[in-house]
Structure 1
C-alpha cells in the first residue's frame, strides 16, 4: 500500500520485505558483504515492524541536507508511533496495550519528498501522523479480516 502526503511517501507491506539496498547486495553472489546481509535478514525478528527512511528523492541536495532530512523524518515517524502507542519496533507500549490487540508488524519504507526540506518540522510531523493513522486503519482491517478467515477455516475444519 502506497500512501502520499505533501512531504512524505510511505509504502507499507504487511509482510516483511527486504529493502532495495539489501537486495542489491543479496543479488550479487560475489559481493564481500553478501554473507553478512544474508545472515542479518535471515535472523531478523519477524515480530517487529521493519522500517527505514530512504532519501532517494533527495539526491540533488548535499550530504548534510540529506542526513538532516533523514534524521528529521525518522524522528517524526518515531513520534507518530509513540503517539499511537507503539515503540520504534512496533511493539505496543502501555498505552498501546489498551488500544490494540497485536504489535505492528510488516515493512514501512518512508521517502521524504524534496519539498519536505523547505517545510517545517511540524508539517512533516503532521504528515507522518496522518500517514501512520492510515496505515493503522489498513492494518487493523487486515488483521480483522485475517481473524475472520481463521475463524471460518477453523469452524469448517471442526465439522467433518
Structure 2
C-alpha cells in the first residue's frame, strides 16, 4: 500500500480531541453524581450509629470523601482538554498531545490509534468507528512511542505476544 493510501486511513485529530473532551466531561458528570449519592448516604439519618459496632455511617463518610477526590481528578482531566486546542505538530516526533497511527507490519488493515495524553491514561473510546486509546508518557506504550517518528517500528505486547507495528502518521 502506498504511503498516501495509509495517510487517508488515519484519524482526524480535531475529532479525536473533541471526542476525548466529551468523554472526560461525561466521566466528570458521573463522578459528581456518584459523590452526591455518597454524600447523601453519609448524612442520611439511617447512617447514625446505633451501637459501637455499627460502622455504616463511618464507611459512608469515607466513601463520600473518596468520591469528592475523584470529582476533583475528573474535573482537572476534563479542563486540561477543554482548555487545550488540537494542534498539529510539525517536528515529526511522538510526544505529548500527539495522535499516533500505527499499522501492523504485514497487515495494513490492522491499525491502532493512540493519543499521548497528560492524563486519563487507559481511557479508550470510539471515534468514527475506530478505537482510540489514551496513553500517558509514563505508560509502557507511551514510553515505547515517545521520540519515535513516522516509519519507525515498535513491538506492542498483545495477548502475551509482541507484534510489530509501524508508525504511519503523527499529528
On whether the aligned pair clears a TM of 0.5, the verdict is no
Q: Which has the higher strand share?
A: 2
What TM-score results when the alignment is normalised by the length of structure 2?
Answer: 0.30
Instruction: Identify which of structures 1 and 2 has the higher relative contact order when contacts are C-alpha pairs closer than 8 Å and 6+ apart.
Output: 1
TM-score normalised per structure 1 = 0.32
| Structure with greater helix percent | 1
